[in-house]
A and B are shown apart, each in its own frame.
Chain A
Amino acid sequence: MISRGLMSRGTFWSAVLAAAALALPLFNSSAFVIDIFIRVLLFAFIGVAWNLIGGYAKQLSLGHAAFFGLGAYTSTILLIRYGVSPWIGMLAGGVVAMLASLPIGALCFRLRGPYFAIATIATAQVLMLLFLKFRDFAWGAEGTTMPNLGDAPLMMQFEGKAPYYYIALALLAIGLVITYLIERSWMGYYLVAVGEDEDAAEAIGVDAPRIKRNVYLISAFLTALAGTFYVQYIYFIDPNTAFSFNVSVEAALVSIVGGIGTLWGPVVGTVLLEATSALLESWLGGGHGGVQLTVYSLILIAVILVRPSGLIGIVADAYERLVHVSAARTKEVPLDG
């Protein structure tokens, strides 16, 4: 398997990558560049969270914005109404998202494949519509800005962009470590079995509903952390931002383009898509609504038709060639197959 191949000989390169990631803000102080990297890290993290349920268990959710939004609103309400630090709010948001994932999962897991995806879209949309409608509860459609507390690390507010970068990096690292641990545990093997053929997995004694529910809990928790971080970073929240359909789409998109059901797939996918998007913006300038998603969808169609296992295979092949391994190993395909 690709990820194992990368891991066994890749400890050195992982260390180099980690060191480079940690050192980046020291060498580049341009807010524009750091901002792009923060977006890459954040969406890679959301992709990693999505990948647990969407990639390994193949439950193709298009409603992760529900958890992103619940995380964002929980911490914001705690901060503005009760003055609770977003660090605590972040964890509270994660817990709220986990609690929400239970009824959402109970409903949506009744359906398989495309209709699971549609049901998850509906849950995220219902939450958005509810937050739009009930304005007394959470500011309605106008949304609200975060109170500016200046340089207050305990309240997750900072002067420069570098601290945000390190938070996003830490989140991604946490997501990857959790994925790595799950991938190697009995749960990971059960998940893959459920993803390959749910009926067959149940026939050999895998408790598929329980496995799906548990990994959905973890995925919801992680996605909610990203929601809190994002609204703290942009200092603003409204239902259309917090429950944005684009969040749900991008979570799935980066994983698919990179390679679903692989540890590094969402990271590879995000780097590729965000790099494309940044290049497009520098060529065309802003204000061309639709260009970015047009290109994203073309990339997605190309990946599905040409290489449905995702681009991580290409990256891994290049890596294998680089370190001169036997030709047999390069033929191995990622989990998705």
Chain B
Amino acid sequence: MLTTVAQAVVNGLLIGGIYALVSIGVTLIFGVVKIVNFAQGEFVMIGMYISYFLAASFGIDPLVSLVVSMPALFVVGIVLQHFFIRRVLALGDMPQIFLTFALSLLLVNVALLLFTANYRTVQTSYSETAIHIGTLYIPMAKLIAFAVAMLLSGLLWVFLHATDLGKAMRAAAQNRDVAMLMGINPDRVFCIAVGVALALAGAAGSLLMPFYPAYPLVGQVFVLMAFVAVVLGTLGNVTGALIASLMMGVAESLGIQFVGADSGLIVVFAMLLLTLAVRPNGLFGGWNR
């Protein structure tokens, strides 16, 4: 019993690292640009297909293709912010929600047209290997993904707290008008925030590829998790999103273990609705809604 719980917790933490990359991106965009990116999961999907095709065509390991997927999605993020999101920032809720929502629909369906609904997987040398600690079973691919995800989250934290650009980003998030008066160019900061967020989604995609199949709708699993984690971790709070994502991973894993294999999502949604009912501002306070 105890080992079952421990194993479920480990599984949850490992996948929670991937959820963290996605939800940190969502919360970063929300904190800085004040937009909820409904298409964040689709950028994970794009990252997966980039890694898949690099692996299938050139035999490049998905971990190596991180150096392609992250910069590629960073550029996509700048284009997205500069040519699309920027144009709806002054408009109301409706255009702000439905622009990225429409983008999500578009990307899923274009992927469906181009790649069909088939599941695509990549086999790596470490896809089947695992570490055993006592009775615990730790798959190598998931462990690597978790470690890289934590490393990237740490780098982001350093970036936000120790660099001028990162500080400018946090300043713009706290008060756009005052930040502008201090000489911060909000358009530039917004572009970089969205770029960084999408690069994290791309990284999540590449890290998933050794142990998770790519298909057009794959992003929806991760974006739903991210939304719950972002609410739970308080909107706009990067550390909160990280901790909440790990908690979500564990909750989902325990749900699958003890309620049933098809119950992971029910547990997640129940947590969302419970959070909304009890603590609509999330668990961590921080940058306000």
On A, residues with C-beta under 8 Å from B are: 58, 60, 62, 107-108, 110-115, 117-119, 121-123, 125-126, 129-130, 132-133, 249, 252, 256, 260, 288-291, 293-294, 296-298, 300-301, 304-305, 308, 336
When distances are taken between beta carbons in the complex, the residues of chain A under 8 Å from B108 are 290, 293
**Do B277 and A107 touch (CB < 8 A)?**
yes
Contact code string B222-236 (vs A, CB < 8 Å = 1, else 0): 001001100100010
Asked whether A126 lies within 8 Å of B280 as measured between CB atoms, the reply is no
Beyond A113-B93, A301-B102, is A133–B263 a contact (Cβ under 8 Å)?
yes
Q: Are B276's CB and A110's CB within 8 A?
A: yes
Using CB atoms, name the residue of chain A closest to B102.
Answer: A300
Nearest to A255 among chain B residues (CB) is: B94
**Cα of A121 to Cα of B225 in the assembled complex, Å:** 13
The answer to the question of B152 belonging to the interface, with a C-beta cut-off of 8 Å to chain A, is no
Is B112's CB under 8 angstroms from A256's CB? no
Q: Which residues 119-139 of B have a CB within 8 angstroms of A?
A: none
A sample of 10 more A-B contacts (CB under 8 A), given A117-B97, A119-B272, A129-B263, is A113-B36, A118-B231, A126-B269, A129-B262, A256-B98, A289-B117, A294-B109, A301-B84, A304-B88, A305-B84
> Which of the listed residues A113, A132, A300, A304 has the most CB atoms from chain B within 10 Å of its own CB?
A304
Q: CA of A126 to CA of B98 in the docked complex: distance in angstroms?
A: 22
Question: Could you tell me the distance in whole angstroms from the C-beta of A252 to the nearest C-beta in chain B?
Answer: 7
Least CB distance, A112 to chain B, in whole angstroms: 8
Q: Does B110 contact A (CB under 8 A)?
A: yes
Whole-angstrom CA separation of A115 from B231 in the bound complex = 8
Q: How far is the CA of A112 from the CA of B87 in the complex (A)?
A: 21
A225 to B272, CA, bound (A): 29
- A126 near B103: Cβ-Cβ < 8 Å: no
Establish whether residues B231 and A290, one from each chain, have CB atoms under 8 Å apart when the complex forms.
Answer: no
Per DSSP, chain B at the interface is helix
By beta carbon, the residue of chain B nearest A298 is B106
A124 to chain B, nearest CB (A): 10
| CB-based nearest B residue for A117 | B97
Q: Chain B: which residue is nearest A302 at the CB level?
A: B102
Residue of A nearest to B30 (CB): A114
CB distance from A71 to the nearest CB of B (A): 21
Q: Which partner residue on chain B sits nearest A196 by CB separation?
A: B92
A129-B266, A130-B266, A288-B113 known; A293 vs B105 contact (CB < 8 Å) = yes
Q: Using a CB–CB distance below 8 Å, which chain B residues touch chain A?
A: 35-36, 38, 84, 87-88, 91-99, 101-103, 105-106, 108-113, 117, 216, 224, 227-228, 231, 235, 260, 262-263, 265-266, 269-270, 272-273, 276-277, 280
Contact B110–A252 (Cβ < 8 Å): no
Chain B residues positioned under 8 Å from A119 (CB to CB):
272-273, 276
Pick from B98, B109, B260: contact of A304, CB under 8 Å: B98
Give Cα distance in the complex from A26 to B231, angstroms: 54
Are B262 and A133 touching (Cβ within 8 A)? yes
Q: Which residues of B contact A108 (CB under 8 A)?
A: 276
Residues of A within 8 A of B110 (CB): 290, 294
Is B98 a contact of A252 with CB atoms below 8 Å? Answer: yes
Do A304 and B99 touch (CB < 8 A)?
yes
A-B contact pairs, 10 of them (CB 8 A): A111-B231, A118-B36, A122-B269, A249-B105, A289-B117, A291-B109, A297-B105, A304-B95, A304-B99, A308-B95
Our pick among A62, A123, A298, A300 for the contact of B273 (Cβ within 8 Å) is A123
Q: Is the CB of A260 within 8 A of B94?
A: yes
Q: Find out whether the CB atom of B113 lies under 8 angstroms from the CB atom of A294.
A: yes
Q: Assess A129 versus B84: contact at CB under 8 Å? Given A107-B277, A117-B97.
A: no
Q: Are A122 and B272 in contact (CB under 8 A)?
A: yes
Pick the 7 closest A-B CB pairs, nearest first: A290-B112, A114-B36, A297-B106, A297-B105, A290-B109, A300-B102, A294-B109
